[in-house]
Amino acid sequence: MSLRIHLSRFALLALAGLSSLDAQAGSLRDYNHIVVILQENHSFDNLWGFWGEVDGAPVNGIAQADAPHRLQLGADGKPFGCLFQNDVNLKDVKPAGDATCAFPNAPFDIEDYIKPRDETCPKPYGETFTKQGKRDGYAKGQGAPGGCTRDLTHSFYNEQFQINDGGQNRYVMGSDAAGLVMGYYDTRQSPLYRYLHEAGAPSYVISDNFFHAAFGGSFINHQWLIAARTPVFTNPPSLGAGQDLHSSIDANGLATKPPKEVYEAQQALMRDRPLTAYCEGDARMPSGLVGAPKGFICGDWVVGTISPQNWPWRPDEPSIPRLQPLTHATIGDRLTERRIDWAWYAGGWDNVEGKRDGRGWTNGAGPHCANAQGADPHALETVIDGVLRCPDKSFQYHHQAFDYFEKYGPGTDGRKNHLRDEEEFFDAAREGRLPAVSFVKPLGSENEHPGYASEDKGDSHLVKLVKAVVDGTNGNDTLIIIAYDEHGGAWDHVPPPPHGDNANGAHDEWGPGTRIPVMLIARKLARSGVDHVAHDTTAIAKLIEERFCLAPLGERDKTVASLKSALGDKSADACKADTNR
């Protein structure tokens, strides 16, 4: 796909008046069910950068990216001439014709080099490349089908360096995947795009100014989705420098070391761990570590991947310290207090729980994890509390946000009533039994995460979820929100709040981070359109709060712009008279 003619910001803002949202004249009160489908690790430009227009309204994509926010800078402050690549299927690509670069300093179409059916995914499918000792991926023909790339750094500290105060120009320099950050997918060939442009498809609104709530990766952004805050590890264990849970960052604030071809590390010990770096002078800091440079968040904040004390955790990593159960409020708690039904539906949950009578159990009645073909090669067989568990190797433990909380631990009513398998969601959607609020988290192999999942396969699964709702009995009064948890390390050209045109957007020391793909779909929408209002992940919680008259979880979801803007709903807060809010 070639880049299109550039439109200036001024032209884009002028065209924004063509947005059709005012014609919606919809109301949040029209919806008795809200379904939030949470996918994985793509920036807006990376996935939807060539959506184009929606009913005449422009989507702010790659074509609108001006040079300062597109060109990536090196350590000397000057643009790279060429993009260094280390993905096994990109690093040996030769320049075409008389070109000096195979990958100039510009966005490029990943599918020009790695097709959706190419055999480049991990074997067994869904397990990470890192676990298999193949960090840079499988060469074509040596992996499983799916067109996977290697993974990209998406960490709390590195992302702040990459955003560069809204410059959007240090994504290459701050990534272990270097030039891959500038890759994008052919939007119009995606299963979701094709589905939404079929005859009879539901209307939709793209939110093209939506950012993930907190800098960093999946764990912290799942926590911000349900609790609008960063958790703290209370009294973390005292460990030697090699095993300590705290990160170590260099003078520029990088925790994950990029390739030497794009960045010269400022210190020898750089590492991305679950907790922020120690504050300078902290007496607990082991010898060999250094405190965070001035101006960087430090202490015992949990900003990276960590397992919960509650099962499930990775059964092949039993010795790693796990986060104690959390007790602060979540959106689930708010709903339960109002006696409003809700559920978190996770792909592979019944196998994890060992729930043999569950809709999602796939491992038979025997004493071992097995399917119709015999022993299940995708299962990490283990016994917890005397119960056989068969978690899929691609099951992502740190994505199960509610499992980190005391109220949803094993044996609690909260767990029994609200943590369910994705197969139950499909049944509820078909049969008209959706709860008022549903969160849907696909299995790792179907969530679109670079490094262990196929983008095309995950997008196809997303369409299956949407169709189940739209075609189901509750379809007439259900609002679907598709969102991606975070950017996955990929570049995007739009500066997040408080930078550039989004200077007045809600923000704090935690974020928001890079722009992500977000869309609202509903039968009730009068027509499709584009919402240009600045939002972040906490706007999803805010929408639920507004619909069901719930108290805010924190300052960010209280102050963030309402996602009602995507519905064209300009009505006053119908809950203001409620003394409990």
Q: Please indicate, yes or no, if residue 437 is contained in any of the structural domains.
A: yes
Contact (Cβ atoms closer than 8 angstroms) between residue 53 and residue 73? no
Q: Using the 8-state DSSP alphabet, how is residue 352 labeled?
A: H
Whether residue 362 is contained in a domain is answered as: no
- Show the tokens assigned to 521: 């779909």
Are the beta carbons of 303 and 276 closer than 8 angstroms?
Answer: yes
Q: Is the distance from CB of 460 to CB of 145 less than 8 angstroms?
A: no
In this structure, is residue 332 part of a structural domain?
yes
The per-residue b/e assignment along 453-481, b for 16 or more CB within 10 angstroms, e otherwise, is bbbbbbbbbbbebbebbbebebbeebbbb
Residues contacting residue 502 through CB under 8 Å, at least 6 positions apart: 209, 494, 495, 496, 534
Residues of the chain scoring pLDDT < 50: 1-19, 577, 579-580
Extract the tokens encoding 196.
């939404």
How far, in Å, CA of 258 to CA of 270, rounded? 10
Contacts of 83 (CB under 8 A, 6+ apart): 72, 101, 103, 104, 105, 108, 172, 178, 179, 182
Segments forming the whole domain that contains residue 65: 9-86+144-231+306-348+392-567
Task: Give pLDDT, residue 2.
Answer: 38
What CATH number is given to the structural domain containing 173? Answer: 3.40.720.10
Check: CB of residue 24 under 8 Å from CB of residue 30.
no
Does residue 97 come out as left (phi exceeding 0), alpha (psi in the -120 to 50 range) or beta?
Answer: left
**Over the stretch 304-314, which tens digit does the pLDDT of each residue have?**
999 999 999 98
CA 482 to chain centroid, in Å, comes to 11
Q: Tell me if 58 sits within 8 A of 12, measured CB to CB.
A: yes
pLDDT of residue 373: 82
Q: Judge whether 152 and 180 are in contact, CB under 8 Å.
A: yes
Q: Is residue 375 part of a domain?
A: no
For 519, list phi and psi in degrees, rounded to 5: -145, 145
- Which pLDDT does position 546 carry in this prediction? 97
Place of tokens 């709390």: 156
Contact 226, 331 (CB under 8 A): yes
Q: How many domains does the chain have?
A: 1
Residue with tokens 């994504």: 171
Q: At what angle do helices 538-548 and 218-227 cross, to 10 degrees?
A: 20
Q: Is residue 299 part of a domain?
A: no
Structure tokens at 454: 């196929």
Chain segment 116-126, per-residue pLDDT in tens: 999 999 887 66
Whole-model pTM? 0.94
CA 376, CA 235: separation in Å to the nearest integer? 39
Q: Looking up tokens 């025997």, which residue turns up?
A: 366
Q: Is residue 490, in this structure, part of any structural domain at all?
A: yes
| Residue 309: C-alpha distances to residues 314, 393, 406, 414 (Å) | 11, 19, 9, 16
Give pLDDT, residue 264. Answer: 86
Q: Which amino acid would we find at residue 316? A: D
Residue 343 in domain? yes
Distance CA 318, CA 307 (A): 10
Max CA pair span of the chain: 71
- Number of Cβ atoms within 10 Å of the Cβ of 76: 7
Distance of CA 345 to the CA centre of its chain: 16
Q: Are strands 478-484 and 33-39 parallel, antiparallel or unpaired?
A: parallel
Peptide bond just before 124 cis, omega within 30 deg:
yes
Average pLDDT, rounded, for the chain: 91
Q: What is the spatial distance between Cα 36 and Cα 268, in angstroms, rounded to a whole number?
A: 42
Task: Report the 10 Å Cβ neighbour count for 329.
Answer: 19
What is the per-residue pLDDT for 22? Answer: 61
CA angle centred on 396, ends 146 and 319, rounded to 5°: 130
Helices 422-431 and 455-470: crossing angle in degrees, nearest 10, is 30
Q: Is residue 534 part of a domain?
A: yes
Task: Give the C-alpha distances (Å, rounded to integers) separating 302 from 236, 285, 556.
Answer: 10, 16, 18
Rounded distance between C-alpha atoms, residue 292 and residue 115, angstroms: 42
Residue 521 amino acid letter:
I
Pairing of strands 57-58, 53-54: antiparallel
